[in-house]
């Protein structure tokens, strides 16, 4: 039926021609810097972690990125254990000493996992998500669970049942959603990297709003086992970092085949670390010959001029690096949005049926079974979640399936094909990550359609299952020092490696921008 995605390797000139000599300087990666510093004795994990914790505790009352953090003592104990291992010359994992935050819809058995919902308040899963298990195995120090829109449904994180997270660039604005907490935490340097989830843009849009790097991997690259399901055919676990390199290293650490996820891919995941070389070692046109397609439909009416302008400068920058820029048209682009919402509501209405009060959740007394179901769910779910469940129930009802769900699946086929065709002629595609910069808190609350419209840049990528990288590329007016704008790069299926290479070079050669929010700028510096 659908042919497997073709790798475009043979179209791209070998990237070896980008380097002049063998690199000796460390690349721009905090993860690698940390590892080097720990190994050399320059710092200890306890010191490093303490610094992060201080900043976290200082900024949390303003940001509220976290729904849960263990005590400092618990966290520092892990740091101490790592220091002991270093003392004993034991081998260190690739994330040794890296302070990580995890979105609260990813199961952690030693911390509550609420998915932002009152229904799962204090719920302790009896297992770790595979991605979390891998983090732990590779030496990461998990500093807490981050705030999110309930069950992933939302684009501002205001949909959380518990608290509103603020954008570190402007505390009166949202960080984006649904992985707002994870984006804000990295942006405010409360942690080095974080995990989020992306069903329709929930990693990429917050990355754009918060001025950090966000990676949505190919569907099937990262196991979904332990990710509280929203829309099963669209959900992926994604990564945030303050640099492409860090984001890439985190991605490599958590990806790979998992026997507990039948949709996970068996393909090898190349280790991108060696690609993250310092810009001193790049030739003058390191991306020479790379074909970049700018998606015409994403820079038209309805997109903030500041966003258009930032993405255009990003495109120019890529051209300076040697890329061949052209415009591509994806005619089915606008169709993807209603198709996405039909699929997402329908699948989520099914995935959320298990929340019935019988096996987990707060104890509720009822004298009859259906009362238990009705009341438990009424008390536990927020409004947006309830509405989506109802819409999904409608769309899947007998007689309506063909009109909605099936059609949405057919649109998915069209979207997949159009991306495949465009990526046959281009190495990557470019678009904004969102049609605007961060909204003000409360701006979108009452108008679902207006909120859904903000996902126009991101949903088609989920429908196609492709990987995409968002990195900050400019600013728009707003806040005390402008509001960041992110540029989205979309790659061919399973070709995160290319995205990361290009993103890294883009980032390292981009001059004149400081993407550290003023809130922590004095501490962190540029």
Partner 1 sequence: MALTFFRGVQTRPLLSYPSIYFALRKHNVSYCNMQNTQLETTERQEGQLKGSTREIHSKPHDKLLKDFEAVIGIETHVQLSTQTKAFCSCPYNYGAAPNTSICPVCMGLPGALPVLNSKVIEAAVKVGLALNCSLSLDSKFDRKQYFYPDLPKGYQISQFDVPIASSGSLDVDLPVEYGGGHRRFGITRVHMEEDAGKLLHTGSGNYSQVDLNRAGVPLLEIVSEPDMRTGIEAAEYAAEIQRLVRYLDVSNGNMQEGSLRCDVNISVRPTGQQEFGTKVEIKNLNSFSSVSRAIDYEISRQVDLHTQGLADQIVQETRLWEEGSQKTITMRKKEGLADYRYFPEPDLPGVTLSEEYINSIGSSLPELPETKRRRYENMGLSMQDVLFLANDITVAKFFDATIAGGADVKLAANWIMGDIAAYMKNAKVSISDIKLSSEELCELIASIKGGTISGKMGKEILFELMAKGGTVKGLIKDKDLVQIVDPVEIEKIVDKVLADNPKQLEQYRGGKTKLQGFFAGQVMKESKGKANPKLLNQILLQKLNATS
Partner 2 sequence: MANRALNLLRASTTVVPITTRRSSFLSPNIWSPRTVEVKQRRSKRSYSTSSLEPPDVSRLAETARISLSPEEVEEFGPKIRQVIDWFGKLQDVDLQSVEPAIRADTEGDNIRDDIPETFPNREAIIATIPNFEDSYIKVPKVLNKE
The residues that are catalytic are: 103, 178, 202
The tokens describing 358, both together, are: 């019988």
Q: Classify each residue of 82-96 as buried b or exposed e, where b means 16 or more C-beta atoms within 10 Å of its C-beta.
A: bbebbeeeeebbbbb
List 68, 162, 373, 513, residue binding partner 2 (CB under 8 A): 373
Tell me the closest approach of the beta carbon of residue 454 to partner 1, in angstroms: 25
Residue 466 binds which entry of partner 1, partner 2, none, with Cβ cut-offs from 5 to 8 Å by kind?
partner 2
List 374, 445, 513, 514, residue binding partner 2 (CB under 8 A): 374
Residue 390 binds which entry of partner 2, partner 1, none, with Cβ cut-offs from 5 to 8 Å by kind?
partner 2
Judge whether 249 and 30 are in contact, CB under 8 Å: no
| Three-state SS annotation for 253-307 | HHECCCCCCCCCCCCCCCCCHHHCCCHHHECCCCCCCCEEEEEHHHCCCCCCHHH
Report 230-289 residues binding partner 2 (CB under 8 A): 232-234, 259, 261-267
Residue 346 binds which entry of partner 1, partner 2, none, with Cβ cut-offs from 5 to 8 Å by kind?
partner 1
Q: Which residue's CB is nearer to partner 1, number 128 or number 455?
A: 128
The tokens describing 266, both together, are: 């068996």
Q: What does 52-91 look like in DSSP terms, one character per residue?
A: HHHHHHHHHHHH--EEE---HHHHHHHHHHHHHHHHTT--
Which ranges of 465-495 does DSSP label H, i.e. alpha helix? none
Q: Which residue's CB is nearer to partner 1, number 229 or number 330?
A: 229
Judge whether 282 and 508 are in contact, CB under 8 Å: yes
Report how far residue 182's alpha carbon sits from residue 134's, in angstroms, rounded to the nearest whole number.
Answer: 18
Report 391-410 residues binding partner 2 (CB under 8 A): 391, 393-395, 397, 399-400, 402-404, 406-410
Report 283-342 residues binding partner 2 (CB under 8 A): 297, 300-304, 331-335, 337-339, 341-342
What is the chain's alpha carbon radius of gyration, rounded to the nearest angstrom? 22
CB burial of residue 491 (10 Å; 0-12, 13-18, 19+): buried
**Contact positions vs partner 1 (CB under 8 A):** 106-107, 113, 115, 120, 123, 125-127, 129, 224-229, 231-233, 259-263, 346-347, 350, 353-356, 358-360, 367, 369-370, 373, 393, 396-398, 401, 405
Name the segment binding partner 2 (CB under 8 A); options: 25-33, 135-143, 203-211, 371-379.
371-379
Tell me the closest approach of the beta carbon of residue 234 to partner 1, in angstroms: 8
Residue 448 binds which entry of partner 2, partner 1, none, with Cβ cut-offs from 5 to 8 Å by kind?
partner 2
Positions of E strands within 66-189: 66-68, 99-103, 141-146
Q: For residue 197, which phi and psi values (nearest 5 degrees)?
A: -135, 150
- Residue for token digits 């009341």? 375
Using CB under 8 A as the binding rule, whether residue 443 contacts partner 2 is answered as yes
Report 177-216 residues binding partner 2 (CB under 8 A): none
Residue 113 binds which entry of partner 2, partner 1, none, with Cβ cut-offs from 5 to 8 Å by kind?
partner 1
Using CB under 8 A as the binding rule, whether residue 483 contacts partner 2 is answered as no
Bridge-based pairing state of the strands 468-476 and 213-216: antiparallel
Report how far residue 218's alpha carbon sits from residue 224's, in angstroms, rounded to the nearest whole number.
Answer: 12
Residue 335 binds which entry of partner 1, partner 2, none, with Cβ cut-offs from 5 to 8 Å by kind?
partner 2
Name the segment binding partner 2 (CB under 8 A); options: 32-40, 199-207, 448-456, 495-503.
448-456
Report 97-156 residues binding partner 2 (CB under 8 A): 109, 123-127
């Amino acid at each position: 039926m659908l042919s497997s995605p073709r790798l475009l390797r043979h179209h791209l000139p070998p990237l070896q021609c980008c380097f002049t000599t063998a690199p000796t300087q460390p690349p721009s990666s905090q993860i690698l810097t940390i590892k080097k510093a720990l190994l050399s004795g320059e710092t200890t994990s306890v010191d490093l972690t303490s610094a992060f914790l201080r900043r976290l505790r200082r900024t949390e009352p303003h940001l509220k990125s976290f729904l849960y953090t263990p005590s400092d003592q618990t966290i520092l104990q892990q740091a101490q254990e790592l220091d002991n291992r270093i003392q004993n010359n034991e081998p260190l994992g690739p994330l040794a000493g890296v302070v990580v935050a995890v979105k609260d819809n990813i199961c952690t058995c030693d911390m509550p996992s609420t998915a932002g919902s009152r229904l799962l308040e204090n719920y302790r899963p009896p297992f770790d998500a595979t991605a979390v298990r891998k983090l732990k195995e590779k030496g990461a120090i998990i500093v807490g669970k981050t705030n999110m829109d309930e069950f992933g449904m939302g684009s501002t994180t205001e949909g959380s049942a518990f608290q509103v997270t603020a954008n570190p660039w402007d505390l009166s604005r949202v960080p984006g959603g649904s992985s707002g907490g994870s984006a804000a935490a990295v942006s405010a340097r409360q942690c080095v990297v974080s995990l989020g989830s992306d069903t329709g843009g929930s990693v990429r849009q917050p990355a754009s709003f918060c001025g950090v790097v966000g990676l949505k991997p190919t569907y099937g690259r990262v196991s979904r086992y332990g990710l509280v399901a929203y829309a099963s055919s669209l959900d992926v676990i994604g990564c945030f970092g303050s640099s492409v390199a860090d984001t890439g290293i985190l991605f490599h650490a958590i990806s790979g085949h998992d026997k507990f996820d039948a949709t996970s891919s068996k393909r090898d995941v190349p280790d991108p670390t060696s690609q993250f070389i310092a810009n001193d070692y790049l030739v003058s046109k390191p991306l020479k010959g790379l074909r970049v397609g700018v998606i015409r439909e994403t820079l038209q009416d309805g997109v903030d001029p500041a966003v258009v302008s930032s993405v255009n400068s990003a495109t120019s920058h890529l051209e300076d690096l040697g890329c061949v820029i052209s415009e591509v048209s994806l005619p089915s682009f606008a169709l993807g949005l209603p198709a996405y919402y039909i699929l997402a509501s329908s699948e989520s209405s099914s995935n959320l049926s298990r929340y019935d009060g019988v096996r987990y959740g707060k104890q509720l007394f009822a004298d009859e079974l259906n009362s238990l179901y009705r009341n438990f769910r009424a008390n536990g779910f927020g409004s947006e979640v309830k509405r989506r469940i109802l819409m999904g129930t409608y769309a899947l009802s007998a007689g309506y399936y063909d009109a909605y769900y099936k059609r949405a699946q057919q649109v998915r086929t069209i979207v997949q094909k159009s991306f495949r065709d465009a990526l046959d002629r281009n190495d990557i595609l470019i678009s904004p990550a969102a049609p605007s910069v961060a909204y003000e808190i409360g701006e979108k609350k009452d108008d679902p359609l207006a909120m859904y419209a903000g996902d126009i840049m991101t949903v088609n990528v989920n429908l196609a299952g492709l990987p995409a990288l968002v990195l900050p590329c400019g600013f728009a007016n707003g806040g005390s020092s402008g509001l960041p704008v992110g540029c989205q790069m979309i790659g061919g299926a399973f070709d995160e490696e290319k995205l990361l290479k290009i993103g890294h070079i883009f980032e390292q050669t981009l001059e004149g921008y400081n993407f550290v929010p003023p809130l922590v700028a004095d501490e962190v510096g540029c």
